A and B are shown apart, each in its own frame.
Chain A
Amino acid sequence: MTVAADRHQSRVVAARPALLEDRATHYCPGCGHGVIHRLLAEVLGEMGLGPRTIAVAAVGCAVFAYDYLHVDFVEAQHGRAPAVATGIRRVRPDAFVLTYQGDGDLAAIGTAEIIHAAGRGEGITVVFVNNGIYGMTGGQMAPTTLLGQKTTSTPLGRDARTAGYPLPITEMLAILPGVAYAARGSLASPSAIGKTKAMLRRACEVQEVDGGFGIVEVLSNCPVGWGMTPVKSIEHLTMVAETYPLGVLADRTRPEAHR
């Protein structure tokens, strides 16, 4: 051990959050889910929510979130996580209720459930991971896939004439009066990750303080599905944000925070 390291050993700069299990994940190298899990574990831990959290795992790569986050979990059918969370919310008023959903889950098969949970203003927090692709099933087009983006089901690139346009679902949700907080963050850089953590925290606060519905969309990467190196895929997120602008889309408990 060097002298320099010894001098700093009493000051922990970064450590594994207590709510993040100490184990390797099944995620592909460079995948953003690991970062988002960590952010979530940090926020839940800092807010002391772990022992009261009942989380809903959604179908997709992150269905195994329950293997990594040290909280109670129920596994939902594909797309139904917001309805499952509603059921929990209504019988467990003291619980902190969370869903963790991908873009295929939330923005395609689960549109009815997310829109109506938001419309009812359910007191739940939704973590919406948008990587523009169906990762688990092999990289098919998602509703969020960018125009021109090649996937295994749009081999020539997404063509709006036959496959429609990217769905800005968080903007669609943000107009609903039942939504207390809606924001879009990104994993594009350390500073973007810091802002995303603040958004996650706010989405948890609106549930805790006001019993409100909060959603944070996180622009994440899929190096394998995109056919990019992890570094390239992170750089690509800046381009993704041209279709999906970052920022707070609604904060009805703090109207001055709007983008």
Chain B
Amino acid sequence: MTALAHGVQDRPVETRDPGTRSPAPERILLKGNEAIAEAAIQAGCDAYFGYPITPQAEVLEWMARRMPEEGRAFVQAESEIGAISMALGAAATGARVMVSTSSPGFSLMAEGMSYLAGSELPVVLLNVMRGGPGLGSIGPAQGDYLQAVKGHGHGDYRIPVLAPSSIAEAIALVADAFEIAERYRTPVILLADGILGQAMEPVVPVYRNPARREADWALTGADGRPPRVVKSLHLRPEDLEAHNDHLQAKFRAIAAAEVRWAGEDLEDADLVIVAYGTAARVARTAVARARAGGLMAGLFRPISLWPFPNDALSSIAATARAVLVVELSAGQMVEDVRLAVEGRAPVLFHGRTGGMVPSPDEVVDALRAAWSRTPARDGGGR
């Protein structure tokens, strides 16, 4: 299996290859939630605020024990609204801050996300998605894609969304998320699901503590300098439009520089599966089984869901017979895939909801159906 990895600064996003690492790192069994929590601590997280909710409560529990050990701040908030508000206050002082939740709590954090974006405050926000809508279930799901990528709070703004597909990758993306958050002064969402949070995997954890940037906007007390104000209110229309122009310029810069994706077996693929997170793990197995059965399939895995890897997917779709989107949802990312593909190839969808996860054979069947329902590409004989 060949792997293409596209990360910022050409840093590999898959960490299966040991590469250059400090002394003989140990291969250990880690639970996703705990690995993400420890990765945040190792990335220099100064403060964590959370509220218990399944399936991410282990993040809160890990932080409750580990943050005080490190002399850092931990508060179990009165609600997810309280947690993200605490994060807003701590981030306003220049601290490195993380919150975590699962879907219903993510909805409660929507208010705070809008204010964080408007106030330009860096906070890393983990959503370990579960089944919805409403109270839904505690099983794994990817039904918050649209909310994370296009929705959450009110107003004209975007938040970068990173979606790990393995525990090792989640560890790496935690540090990347802090880095992006501080580089652009923006909240960053880590979008995982119940399987990624609850599963245990053997991992060689590679932690990273990104360098601190000078925060000449942070509230430290007006001692020997004029007072600073961190705010999102701009009552005069001219002022708010200028602020929005500034934010949009920032979003364009993020969209240009922070696109991440990984590809597997794409070079000779007739059928391209697009999947992220846990769905991509299933898809990887399905690709291998399909190839064993003579179907040339490949996997395109978006890692940054916003900015979405439009250009890369567009050029790959141009030579594909069909694109199959696999999600743990009724079809959400598929909308972005269709926008990226722009009719260059038929886009089909296979999804399960409610905490159900498609089996690899189910996906292979969907690949076979895609093959039989689509014509061969002009000039392509495969």
Taking Cβ atoms with an 8 Å cutoff, the residues of A that contact B are 50-54, 56-57, 63, 66, 69-77, 80, 83-92, 95-96, 112-113, 115-116, 120
Q: Note all chain A residues with C-beta closer than 8 A to B89.
A: 56, 74, 76, 83-89
Q: Note all chain A residues with C-beta closer than 8 A to B229.
A: 66, 72-75
Contact B222 A91 (CB under 8 A): no
Write out, one digit per residue, whether chain B residues 54-92 have a CB within 8 A of any chain A CB (1) or not (0). Answer: 000000000000000000010101110111011111111
Choose from A54, A83, A84, A120 the contact partner of B221 (Cβ within 8 Å).
A54
Contact B227 A73 (CB under 8 A): yes
Contacting A at CB under 8 A, from B110-147, are 111-112, 115, 119
What are 18 A-B contacts defined by CB distance under 8 Å?
A: A53-B222, A54-B221, A71-B221, A72-B220, A72-B221, A72-B228, A73-B219, A74-B219, A76-B88, A76-B89, A77-B88, A83-B89, A86-B82, A86-B85, A86-B89, A91-B47, A113-B82, A113-B85
Choose from A63, A84, A112 the contact partner of B78 (Cβ within 8 Å).
A112
Contact B73 A74 (CB under 8 A): no
B121 CB → nearest A CB, Å: 9
Q: Note all chain B residues with C-beta closer than 8 A to A115.
A: 78
Taking A51-B221, A85-B89 as known contacts, 19 extra A-B pairs with beta carbons closer than 8 A to each other, sorted by chain A number, are: A52-B223, A54-B93, A54-B220, A72-B220, A74-B229, A83-B85, A84-B86, A86-B86, A86-B89, A87-B87, A87-B89, A87-B92, A88-B92, A88-B93, A92-B220, A112-B82, A113-B78, A113-B85, A116-B82
Contacting A at CB under 8 A, from B210-242, are 219-224, 227-233
| Tier of interface size on chain B | 35 or more
Contact A112 B231 (CB under 8 A): no
Contact A90 B90 (CB under 8 A): yes
A200 CB → nearest B CB, Å: 19
Contact A91 B78 (CB under 8 A): no
**B95 within 8 A of partner (CB):** yes
Interface of B is mostly: mixed
Contact B88 A87 (CB under 8 A): yes
B300 CB → nearest A CB, Å: 38
Contact A72 B227 (CB under 8 A): yes
Q: How far is the CA of A84 from the CA of B200 in the complex (A)?
A: 35
Q: How far is the CA of A72 from the CA of B119 in the complex (A)?
A: 14
Q: Which 10 A-B pairs have the closest CB atoms?
A: A87-B89, A83-B85, A51-B223, A84-B89, A87-B90, A87-B86, A75-B231, A80-B85, A90-B73, A116-B78
Which of B49, B81, B221 is the most central at the interface, judged by chain A CB atoms within 10 Å of its CB?
B221
